[in-house]
Amino acid sequence: MAHRISFASGIVPEFGPLDTIRAAAAGGFDAVGLWVEPPNWTAQTTRDARAALADSGLELLDAEVLWLKPGADIDEHRRGIDIAAELGAQNVLCVSSEADHGATTAWLAELCRHAEGSGIRVALEFGIFTEVKNLKMALAILDAVAHPLRAVLIDPIHVDRSGTTVEQIAAIPRDLLPYAQFCDALAQRPDPTNFDAIIEDAIDLRQQCGEGALPLTAMLQALPPQVPLSIELRSKALRDHFPDPADRAREVARATRQWLEAHAA
């Protein structure tokens, strides 16, 4: 299989970093992603997570989320990057609730500068739940950032809900795509004016690859060959049916690999 798959932290939102790593290993994933909250993250958490990663043999594909909000403390975001670097993360995920795109640009540029020398890419995710609502907006901000560590994060559900097209994905400069998220989704889109419905769609209603209605094969083909895929499967159904994180990981890995084997060129 050409694509390495990573176990996104959102699959097990009720569990901490050590359980997330162990579940990813139990599921046979190639990598894992971790949810990092700097105010609640200690030096001991870092030591424990590093040991668990070493024991598992998993790469840390990404750490999330650096949420850019009006009045946010940029030092907390810098610490998020520092923690990710200590853990050996390859990427950090950013979203922005700042309506002023100039402010988002300035923050992202600063975070990219802070990440210099760490090997980390700073990936901006767009979506209608944020103030960077589509790919066009995201790329305009990244053009203004103009730093080699900047990146854009593609998530199929946000691509579909934002009206972004497969052709737009295919036109993204390849160096802006160090990794992507992947999942399927229902055909019915939430009302774009109903924030609660948008959030429910994103955190509860995602579908296993091939079980929804998105043009996943076309989306995959629009991405760079062999791009690592973070399987971002936030699903209430999975949480309800697979309360054990390892069992949940095995089910997600099974469905994802089955779909990739059938559809990845």
Residue 8 lies in a domain: no
Determine the average pLDDT of the residues in 123-129: 97
246 lies in a domain?
no
Question: What pLDDT does residue 244 have?
Answer: 98
Considering the domain boundaries, does residue 211 fall inside one?
Answer: yes
The total number of structural domains in the chain stands at 1
DSSP per-residue codes, 50-114: HHHHHHHT-EEEEEEEEEE-TT--HHHHHHHHHHHHHHT-SEEEEEE--S-HHHHHHHHHHHHHH
pLDDT tens figures, 31-46: 999 999 999 999 999 9
pLDDT at residue 173, rounded to an integer: 98
Residue 21 inside a domain? The answer is: no
Nearest to 252, CA basis, from 10, 22, 9, 11: 11
67-109 confidence digits (pLDDT tens): 999 988 999 999 999 999 999 999 999 999 999 999 999 999 9
Full residue range of the structural domain in which residue 66 is found: 37-221
Residue 58 domain-assigned?
A: yes
Q: What is the pLDDT of residue 264?
A: 82
Average pLDDT across the chain, whole number: 97
In a domain, 119, yes or no: yes
Q: Give the mean model confidence (pLDDT) for residues 159-178.
A: 98
Residue 4 falls inside a structural domain: no
Q: Please check whether residue 254 lies inside any domain of the structure.
A: no
pLDDT of residue 72: 87
> Strand 5-7's sheet: what is its strand order?
150-153, 121-125, 91-96, 59-68, 31-35, 5-7, 229-231, 180-182
What are the tens digits of pLDDT across the range 187-246?
A: 999 999 999 999 999 999 999 999 999 999 999 999 999 999 999 999 999 999 999 999
Work out the pLDDT band at 265, boundaries 50, 70, 90. Answer: low
Q: Is the pLDDT of residue 2 over 80?
A: no
Q: pTM for the whole thing? A: 0.96
Q: Are 89 and 63 in contact (CB under 8 A)?
A: yes
CATH number at residue 108: 3.20.20.150
Model pLDDT for residues 45-63, shown as the tens digit of each residue: 999 999 999 999 999 999 9
